[in-house]
């Protein structure tokens, strides 16, 4: 797949003619239009494209060019028993006062049956049909080992000049009636964390919460979503993106609170690196001082260097607090993964029905 040209797609735009690739986020405060993939473990890939324009129907990839894994071939880095044990261990940490909340995740992977015909851009087209999402996008940089397709519903950072906004999600159910006080408590905890993170870069007193625990509907489920907004302090104006990433990464909704303690527990309990999952995926227009990064959830990526051959990977997780029930948390990860894995494996048609 190294013969496929680099491309990025976000927000109705298509970017081609790759000019630069760097791991230095300071580039995002320079010039040009950049696609960004920030992995959970800290690696950042910034790719500057010279040709960025509204996508036309002729630019659309053919969904039929995607050849995904067989439905029954997905395996999880944590099985049901291991995940439920992880929930119990987190509750024990909460009981001793080490942490308030931890996002516990698992990585699912499956071999690609025809790696030479597995174009991540075509998978983005499949996801757009079977699971449309507000922050959907593609970053395809084959020569740099980056092939990511996201159907993320969650805003990590949006910047317009000095105004910056985040939209943390915490709380998931099949319908609004499934959402509980536990879900709302999760959301409020993470809102406090995001407020604190943004406060490190924003002017004192400028950080507000315009929306708290709003219910958003997405294909097959609902989320509780809050909005946190602030004004970047003048002292960070020339290095806004680099400083924002330093202050807020990884996103609070996929780590926990306090973030440092949560990250230590995640490292202890999870058995596979998250990679682009739970990181940041999106675009930055350095010339205009704008950009939009999604939290890398509902996100697929191809690992062509996997030990057993090229694999498609996907992550799913849940926020664990004192009131968490292990079986319910496992079921939440299943709910989050089920539809997306079915779409990627060709089990659903464009209307979300079981494919013939």
> How many Å is the maximal CA-CA distance in the chain?
58
DSSP strands (E only) in 83-237: 101-111, 135-141, 146-152, 155-160, 163-167, 169-173, 208-218, 221-231
Domain boundary assignment for the chain:
7-344
When the candidates are 3.40.50.300, 3.90.870.10, 3.40.50.1100, 3.60.120.10, the CATH number that belongs to 7-344 is 3.60.120.10
What pLDDT does 182 receive? 87
Which residue in this structure is represented by tokens 């987190």?
90
Among 99, 241, 74, 228, smallest CA distance to 165 is for: 228
**How confident is the model over 7-16, as pLDDT tens digits?**
999 999 999 9
Task: Determine the straight-line distance between the first and last CA of the chain, rounded to whole angstroms.
Answer: 29
**How confident is the model over 270-311, as pLDDT tens digits?**
999 999 999 999 999 999 999 999 999 999 999 999 999 999
Band of residue 229 on the pLDDT scale cut at 50, 70, 90 = very high
Distance CA 122, CA 136 (A): 13
Q: Tell me: pLDDT of 328 over 70.
A: yes
Instruction: Please give the model's pTM, rounded to 2 decimal places.
Output: 0.94
* Inter-residue contact 270 to 108 (CB < 8 Å): no
**How confident is the model over 105-140, as pLDDT tens digits?**
999 999 999 998 899 999 999 999 888 899 999 999
Q: Tell me: pLDDT of 3 over 90.
A: no
Residues annotated catalytic, as ranges: 154, 170
- Both tokens assigned to 129: 């049909």
């Amino acid at each position: 797949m190294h013969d496929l040209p680099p491309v990025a797609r976000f927000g109705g735009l298509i970017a081609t003619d790759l000019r630069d690739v760097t791991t230095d986020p300071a580039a995002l405060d320079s010039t040009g239009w950049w696609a960004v993939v920030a992995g959970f473990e800290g690696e950042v890939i910034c790719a500057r494209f010279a040709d960025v324009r509204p996508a036309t129907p002729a630019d659309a990839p053919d969904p039929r060019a995607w050849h995904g894994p067989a439905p029954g071939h997905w395996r999880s880095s944590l099985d049901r028993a291991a995940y439920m044990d992880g929930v119990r261990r987190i509750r024990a940490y909460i009981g001793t006062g080490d942490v308030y909340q931890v996002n516990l995740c698992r990585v699912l992977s499956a071999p690609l049956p025809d790696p030479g015909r597995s174009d991540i851009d075509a998978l983005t087209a499949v996801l757009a049909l079977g699971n449309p999402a507000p922050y959907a996008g593609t970053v395809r940089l084959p020569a740099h080992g980056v092939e990511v397709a996201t159907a993320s519903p969650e805003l990590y950072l949006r910047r317009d000049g000095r105004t910056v906004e985040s939209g943390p999600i915490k709380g998931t159910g099949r319908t609004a009636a499934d959402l509980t006080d536990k879900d709302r408590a999760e959301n409020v905890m993470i809102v406090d964390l995001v407020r604190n993170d943004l406060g490190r870069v924003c002017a004192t007193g400028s950080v507000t919460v315009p929306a708290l625990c709003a219910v958003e509907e997405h294909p097959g489920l609902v989320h509780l979503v809050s909005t946190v907004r602030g004004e970047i302090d003048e002292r960070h104006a020339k290095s806004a993106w680099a400083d924002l990433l330093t202050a807020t990464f990884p996103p609070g909704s996929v780590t926990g609170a306090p973030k440092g303690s949560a990250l230590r527990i995640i490292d202890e309990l999870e058995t596979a690196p998250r990679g682009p999952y739970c990181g940041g995926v999106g675009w930055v227009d350095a010339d205009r001082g704008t950009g939009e990064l999604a939290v890398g959830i509902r996100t697929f990526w191809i690992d062509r260097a996997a030990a057993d051959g090229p694999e498609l990977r996907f992550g799913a997780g849940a926020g664990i607090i004192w009131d968490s029930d292990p079986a319910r948390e496992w079921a939440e990860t299943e709910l989050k993964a089920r539809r997306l894995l079915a779409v990627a494996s060709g089990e659903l048609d464009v209307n979300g029905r079981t494919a013939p």
